[in-house]
Amino acid sequence: MQVPPSIQEASNWQNTGTFEQTQATAQANSAIARDLLNNNVNRILQSEKKNGGSIAGAADRLQNSMQTNVSFGGSDPAAIHHSVRVKLNAAQGQAVMNYSGLLDAQLSYSVGPNSGMREAITQKLDDTTSLIVENTSNHTERVQRVSLSFGF
């Protein structure tokens, strides 16, 4: 029985490692195409918004409906005020949650070929210095970082 050339070539690619390289190239090309599409759609929406188009208005209403802010805390000026903001960016496949109060924290999660999660906690040490603890993870690695941020 004769094996069709396409099946035989795929088998050879897998055996020589070329298949994995081809798959990585395809994922990179997919990410580039997605970024180009996002940029072009954003340009069209910005143009629509400047011209008062209905597409941009609908996109803005949709984006605004996918975020919420909650604030609570005492009415005393010395009391700690807590604020939580949740925002879903459907076009980018990303969800972001920010908290401010005792400290500042951010949690973001993205889906797709570059899926991953990032958690960051920031504590102000004084008016110009902050301590940042950050965890970043995706399907291939996990990075934990502690840093100091200085403002001038």
**Domain tally, the chain:** 2
Q: What is the pLDDT of residues 92-146, one digit of tens each?
A: 788 999 999 888 999 999 887 778 899 999 998 988 999 999 999 988 889 999 9
Place of tokens 């050339």: 5
Q: Residue 2: what pLDDT?
A: 52
Residue 55 shares a structural domain with residue 106: no
Q: Which domain covers residue 130, as residue numbers?
A: 67-73+81-150
Q: What are the strands, taking DSSP E only, across 50-141? A: 67-73, 81-89, 94-100, 104-110, 116-124, 129-138
User: What is the model's pTM?
Assistant: 0.55
Query: Under DSSP, is residue 119 helix (H, G, I), strand (E, B) or coil?
Result: strand
Closest to 100 (Cα-Cα) out of 128, 61, 76, 130: 130
Q: What is the spatial distance between Cα 115 and Cα 141, in angstroms, rounded to a whole number?
A: 11
Same domain, 47 and 97: no
